[in-house]
Structure 1
């Protein structure tokens, strides 16, 4: 009996799979999903559906590219060419260059005060206004569906007469920034609300298959801000408060705008943290490509101590989570029993 395997030990998983395959060869053929009446979707089909949804609805998936960043690529290439040429001229003539760049050194570290959890309000609004500007400038020439609720001629925001070419002249970036800044400053909204506003705007364009243009951008932005402020902020601004900011608009018009915006979004107002982070970092990428850098400040002693305390707190939380996961997996290993090993009887 030396060097033989005991018959009381169960077979290995590989042998069990081979035996199971031999048993299936003698059984009746398996019914298809259509014959059995069970229309289960295969995992490969689900992956293809997710890829299609990711391309058609980029505001819902964290791995899909944002629309505003793709629309800004054409102008960014031209700006990068001009920046490269300017840098060459500065290198050729260093004495005549007056540009001053801030670089971190051993004695001084420059940081901006904008983070993904607490963005800078002013520069976040600038980035969102720039994203809306690229949406309008590089919009689809064929156009999309027309929603009357966003048409400024049918629903004007002021009592002044709407010009005849209101739908032909593209707004400037400064005009969009002043409009968004006025709403945010008057309603005392946060910078996070601006990022959610951009998410709702792009979600509206994909869900309703429409384009944003000179004649509807104000009401689209207003509806996105109205909805984002109610979803994000704990103390939301009422519709009547926006009527005090925009003197000539009525509460009924604001209610109808909010209701139609929700219906076009299919009541999908959830913004996951991964999607929020994607929009934040894409806005920063667009800002850097357009020389719209966030203000840098030298790292002070107090701020360094705060960052060190936050880092230590996050490290402690990570250790607790890792310790709990180890306990959970150790308990699962105990339930699994003894692993498969051949018993050798000598």
Structure 2
């Protein structure tokens, strides 16, 4: 997080290098205790600090805690299933493709390379359930769209009571990711920061603040995840009526409310990815599937062999180290006996 990135007032475009064009329609920092004596005082990492008791089960920090959005969605999923059962509603024709003896279907989404369009849809749906099944309307002025509008258009009088549809949330996030050329991994980190904010600040995401909270999470996630981050001034070309000063202020508040904890462990990231897939499955949001071709099967086989060779080399290396350590212990025991 460089200061030159988070507080930018230059009208020039960002130093982001040329990337391949992202087409939406196609599509741990750890610390060790082995500190040398001459390094001075040991500075504790944010991830090593003790969290308050009420934050110990925060899903954005702990891999075993259930994600908030999945819990929020289960109420609707159970009611829908119960309604279908009571009314004897037929599930209808199967739209999802299933593998068979002759054909194997695979999607192009993995935990390390998620499908961009499907991931944004799932994140939008998670935010939708957060808003729909919120406990209350706790908010902060910095995220209130009436007090800090994102455009010059008049904010409707019912802006704080009408829940946005899933499509509206998806279009807003898709516009940000398409214009800034952000990745699917960044969308998952955005959701992690969003849920961390709701827990740490003890607020709710609701109709009056969801756009600014999502924007703040995207700003932060893009800078933490991408090596060549988008400057705040670049978002002014997407949201043409918002000022850089407003975004800088919102970003500072966002960081303070997160207690500057921007660490996302790999285990937490993986948990959010698979919970988003579960959410998609519960809501019939199918990831694009393609039959396994001979070319792709050979590629997967080559990757598998490469990983297997690496593990074999690692096992041999560890075995040699173990034998060397045993020999060293034997020599020292012999010297002790002779002395």
> Conserved in 1, the CA contact under 8 Å of 2:59 and 2:268?
no
Residue of structure 2 equivalent to 1:117: 112
* Secondary structure of 2:56's aligned partner: helix
- The alpha-carbon distance between structure 1 residues 168 and 52, as it changes in their structure 2 partners (threshold 3 A), is closer
Residue of structure 2 equivalent to 1:18: none
Matched, 1:104 2:105: no
Residue of structure 2 equivalent to 1:282: 275
> Conserved in 2, the CA contact under 8 Å of 1:80 and 1:289?
no
TM value normalised by structure 2:
0.78
Please identify the structure whose Cα radius of gyration is greater. Answer: 1
| Residue 79 of structure 1, CA deviation | 2.8
Matched, 1:159 2:160: no
Q: How does 1:1-346 map to 2 (within 5 A)?
A: 53-55=55-57, 57-81=58-82, 89=90, 98-99=93-94, 101-141=96-136, 143-144=137-138, 146-337=139-330
Q: Deviations over 1:98-123 (max 9, x none)?
A: 54552222321111110000000000
> Conserved in 2, the CA contact under 8 Å of 1:79 and 1:290?
no
For residues 179 and 82 of structure 2, the distance between their equivalents in structure 1, rounded to whole angstroms, comes to 39
For residues 210 and 152 of structure 1, the distance between their equivalents in structure 2, rounded to whole angstroms, comes to 15
Q: Unaligned stretches of 5+ in structure 1?
A: 1-47, 91-96, 341-346
> Conserved in 2, the CA contact under 8 Å of 1:72 and 1:134?
yes
Aligned length: 284
Q: Deviations over 1:180-238 (max 9, x none)?
A: 00100111110000000000000111111111100000000000001111111111111
| Root-mean-square deviation over aligned CA pairs | 2.4
* Secondary structure of 1:244's aligned partner: coil
* Secondary structure of 1:111's aligned partner: strand
| Residue 269 of structure 1, CA deviation | 0.8
For residues 327 and 87 of structure 2, the distance between their equivalents in structure 1, rounded to whole angstroms, comes to 67
* Secondary structure of 1:245's aligned partner: coil
* Secondary structure of 2:323's aligned partner: helix
* Secondary structure of 2:290's aligned partner: strand
Residue of structure 1 equivalent to 2:19: none
For residues 88 and 98 of structure 2, the distance between their equivalents in structure 1, rounded to whole angstroms, comes to 17
| Residue 53 of structure 1, CA deviation | 3.9
* Secondary structure of 1:237's aligned partner: coil
Residue of structure 2 equivalent to 1:36: none
Residue of structure 2 equivalent to 1:45: none
> Conserved in 1, the CA contact under 8 Å of 2:73 and 2:129?
yes
For residues 159 and 206 of structure 2, the distance between their equivalents in structure 1, rounded to whole angstroms, comes to 10
- The alpha-carbon distance between structure 1 residues 321 and 231, as it changes in their structure 2 partners (threshold 3 A), is same
TM value normalised by structure 1:
0.76
Q: Unaligned stretches of 5+ in structure 2?
A: 1-49, 334-339
Stretch of structure 1 that moved more, 227-236 or 102-111: 102-111
| Residue 83 of structure 1, CA deviation | 5.8
> Conserved in 1, the CA contact under 8 Å of 2:114 and 2:184?
yes
